[in-house]
Amino acid sequence: MITIETAPIAGQKAGTSGLRRKTRDFMEPRFLENYIQSILNAIGGAKGKTFVIGGDGRYFNADAIQTILRMAAAQGADAAIVGQNGLLSTPAASHLIRLNKTDGGFILSASHNPGGIDEDFGLKFNMPNGGPATEAVTNEIFAQTQNLTSYQTMESPAVDLATRGQTSLGDMAITIVDPVADYAALMQDLFDFDAIRSLFEGGFRMAFDAMHAITGPYATTILEDTLAAPKGTVRNGIPLPDFGGGHPDPNPIWAKELMQTMMADDAPDFGAASDGDGDRNMIVGRGAYVTPSDSLAVIAAHAHRAPGYAKGLAGVARSMPTSAAVDRVAAAKGMGCFETPTGWKFFGTLLDAGKVNLCGEESAGTGSDHVREKDGLWAVLMWLNIIASTGQSVADLMTDHWQTYGRNYYSRHDYEAVDSAIANTLMDDLRAKLPTLPGQTVAGLTVSGADEFAYDDPVDGSHTSGQGIRVMFDAGARVVLRLSGTGTQGATIRVYLERLEEDPGKLHQDAETALADVINAANQIAEIADRTGRAAPDVKT
């Protein structure tokens, strides 16, 4: 073991999901080492512990893993379980942490952000329950980064990550595992693979876009090799360090090719995509894009069709900016329903306590209590199971759903790379005028309430404040504004727009059209165009 003197590096504060920075920042001397040491200090050291280690394969993935292995071995860790070639999707890592009853894991990813030496990199620590570190732990990690004076490592040649099986580093045992096998077995337990296989054997056609990212090998093994989907169902299925120069974010903007495929006359029956690290998902039928909020609601309504959920759901949870579509299903079916701050980590206590077994976010995350992360392929398999069991197309499922529960028209408008001072002032001024809003009529809509969302965790009692500004209008319309916690440049203002429609004759409008009044009201209340100088959002999803 060698001890290297260091000094705190400013700003090593985790965002919504771990520490994300430009890759070159992570490659600066001591940057990665300082953060790893701060994690190890915060969790009471590495001694005697077993960790799962893997990432989404982006540039610097393997180098960072070698550094973690050396530091963990030098500091007395017992064992490490590492995905072959350093690869593990985030949900697969969460599963391995739980399956092997380990002390947690290091996941290397900047999720849906582009990869490469000039793009983004990230590192997060997950807890023994398989979920992202809690606020208390991330705060402690940050405190450690501010007081660090040294770190411990060792000198050694690089560990061979390519060969499966047992190896070691110093006294630490290392197992290099097939990244897919255990995860695929878990999926087989949860879903009716026979029914889905029959669907494909009957000629059902699907396009899955892995976006040159981590789900390629998982989707190929599960969809093509196990479920008999035709070869070529999985597109862009080889993970690349720069994701082919793309933005591996599964939404209609970044998964444009898939959208074009699915909107064409000869579209396959079903389309789906996942992100850089495999935890997000996009669902699209022939000519029918499904918003993440609607997807969550449909899954809540039909999950009992999958063998792993046959007993029905105890409860569901959604992040606050996610639409209330799932709330309507929960109310109709008598399930518990929880509204949490943005970030998957807030679902952990509810899942551990058995209060909920389905969770979802507008940011394209859906998952259940099978792991403690959102899970892209899980959502895709759930939809396939629902389609196989109902025999209905995606478009018909959506129509039925809206007729039963009403439609929560929904859209998110993002203003990216806004000057941070301007964004903060916009939020501060809006916060200041919240008490004056109720009763006012803006763009024809009457404000029924306005607040800044805060959350009291019903399981561990923790309090989290400052989680986004909400303005509620009569008739089930709502505007939410918050600043992104995952950006790496300036500030991103997210404006979440929603309106409930229950008129059976008005369930098939274009969302932007149906939301026109809500969009106008948001602009007037928050003065977005005036303050940012932007006439329109950069991205609408």
- The residues assigned a catalytic role are 111
* 275 versus 294: smaller Cβ distance to Zn ion: 275
Which one of Zn ion, ligand G6P, none is in contact with 215 (Cβ closer than 5 to 8 A by kind)?
A: none
Which one of ligand G6P, Zn ion, none is in contact with 342 (Cβ closer than 5 to 8 A by kind)?
A: ligand G6P
Burial class (CB in 10 A: 0-12, 13-18, 19+), 171: exposed
- Residue closest to ligand G6P (Cβ): 484
Shortest approach of ligand G6P to residue 340 CB, angstroms? Answer: 10
* 85 versus 342: smaller Cβ distance to ligand G6P: 342
Write 24-28 long-range contacts (CB < 8 A, 24+).
24/117, 24/118, 25/121, 26/60, 26/64, 26/121, 26/123, 27/60, 27/117
Q: Output b/e per residue, 82-117; b: 16+ Cβ within 10 A.
A: bbbbbbbbbbbbbbbbbbbebbbbbbbbbbbbbbbe
Binding string, residues 248-277; x marks residues near Zn ion by CB under 5 A:
---------------------------x-x
Burial class (CB in 10 A: 0-12, 13-18, 19+), 2: exposed
Query: By rule CB under 6 A, what count of residues binds ligand G6P?
Result: 14
Q: Does 373 bind Zn ion (CB under 5 A)?
A: no
Q: Does 365 bind ligand G6P (CB under 6 A)?
A: yes
What is the CB neighbour count within 10 angstroms for residue 521? 24
Burial class (CB in 10 A: 0-12, 13-18, 19+), 358: buried
Q: Does 457 bind Zn ion (CB under 5 A)?
A: no
| Pairwise CA distance, residues 37 & 6, whole Å | 11
Q: Nearest to residue 498, comparing CAs of 436, 407, 431?
A: 407
Please list the helix, strand and coil fractions of the chain in percent, rounded to the nearest 5, in that order: 35, 25, 35
Check residue 433 and give left, alpha or beta (phi > 0: left; psi -120 to 50: alpha).
alpha
Quote the strand ranges of 304-424, DSSP E.
315-319, 336-340, 358-361, 365-368, 407-418
Q: Does 464 bind ligand G6P (CB under 6 A)?
A: no
For the record, the structure tokens of 461 come out as 């009692």
Binding string, residues 213-252; x marks residues near ligand G6P by CB under 6 A:
----------------------------------------
Which one of ligand G6P, Zn ion, none is in contact with 119 (Cβ closer than 5 to 8 A by kind)?
A: none
Residue 48: HSE in the Cβ half-sphere, 13 Å Cα cutoff: 2
* 217 versus 343: smaller Cβ distance to ligand G6P: 343
Shortest approach of ligand G6P to residue 538 CB, angstroms? Answer: 13
| Pairwise CA distance, residues 243 & 321, whole Å | 29
* 316 versus 514: smaller Cβ distance to ligand G6P: 316
Residue 411 neighbours by CB under 8 Å, 6+ apart: 496, 497, 511, 512, 515, 519, 540, 541
Shortest approach of Zn ion to residue 276 CB, angstroms? Answer: 6
Which one of ligand G6P, Zn ion, none is in contact with 277 (Cβ closer than 5 to 8 A by kind)?
A: Zn ion
* 276 versus 315: smaller Cβ distance to ligand G6P: 276
- Residue pair 8/34 in contact (Cβ under 8 Å)? The answer is yes
Q: Does 279 bind Zn ion (CB under 5 A)?
A: yes
Q: Does 70 bind ligand G6P (CB under 6 A)?
A: no
Q: Report the DSSP pairing between strands 315-319 and 358-361.
A: parallel
Q: Output b/e per residue, 472-485; b: 16+ Cβ within 10 A.
A: bbeebbbbbbbbbb
Q: How far is CA 225 from CA 219, 221, 228, 229, in A?
A: 9, 5, 6, 8
Q: Nearest to residue 274, comparing CAs of 310, 235, 307, 329?
A: 235
- Residues 98-117 contacting Zn ion, CB under 5 A: 111
Shortest approach of Zn ion to residue 292 CB, angstroms? Answer: 13
Q: Nearest to residue 153, comparing CAs of 16, 6, 48?
A: 6
- Residues 322-351 contacting ligand G6P, CB under 6 A: 342-344
- Residues 14-33 contacting ligand G6P, CB under 6 A: 16-17
* 302 versus 478: smaller Cβ distance to ligand G6P: 478
* 179 versus 343: smaller Cβ distance to ligand G6P: 343
Shortest approach of Zn ion to residue 511 CB, angstroms? Answer: 24
- Residues 105-144 contacting ligand G6P, CB under 6 A: 111
Which one of Zn ion, ligand G6P, none is in contact with 18 (Cβ closer than 5 to 8 A by kind)?
A: none
Shortest approach of ligand G6P to residue 450 CB, angstroms? Answer: 20
* 408 versus 486: smaller Cβ distance to Zn ion: 486
Residue 271: HSE in the Cβ half-sphere, 13 Å Cα cutoff: 28
Shortest approach of ligand G6P to residue 362 CB, angstroms? Answer: 7
- Residues 194-213 contacting ligand G6P, CB under 6 A: none
Q: Nearest to residue 345, comparing CAs of 94, 32, 146?
A: 94
Query: By rule CB under 5 A, what count of residues binds Zn ion?
Result: 5
* 285 versus 376: smaller Cβ distance to ligand G6P: 376
Which one of Zn ion, ligand G6P, none is in contact with 275 (Cβ closer than 5 to 8 A by kind)?
A: Zn ion
Shortest approach of ligand G6P to residue 67 CB, angstroms? Answer: 24
Instruction: Estimate to the nearest angstrom the gap between the alpha carbon of 222 and the chain centroid.
Output: 21
Shortest approach of ligand G6P to residue 113 CB, angstroms? Answer: 10
Which of 224, 277, 361, 369 lies at the binding interface for ligand G6P (CB under 6 A)? Answer: 361
| Pairwise CA distance, residues 1 & 450, whole Å | 56
Interface contacts to Zn ion, rule CB under 5 A = 111, 275, 277, 279-280
Interface contacts to ligand G6P, rule CB under 6 A = 16-17, 111, 319, 342-344, 361, 363, 365, 484-486, 494
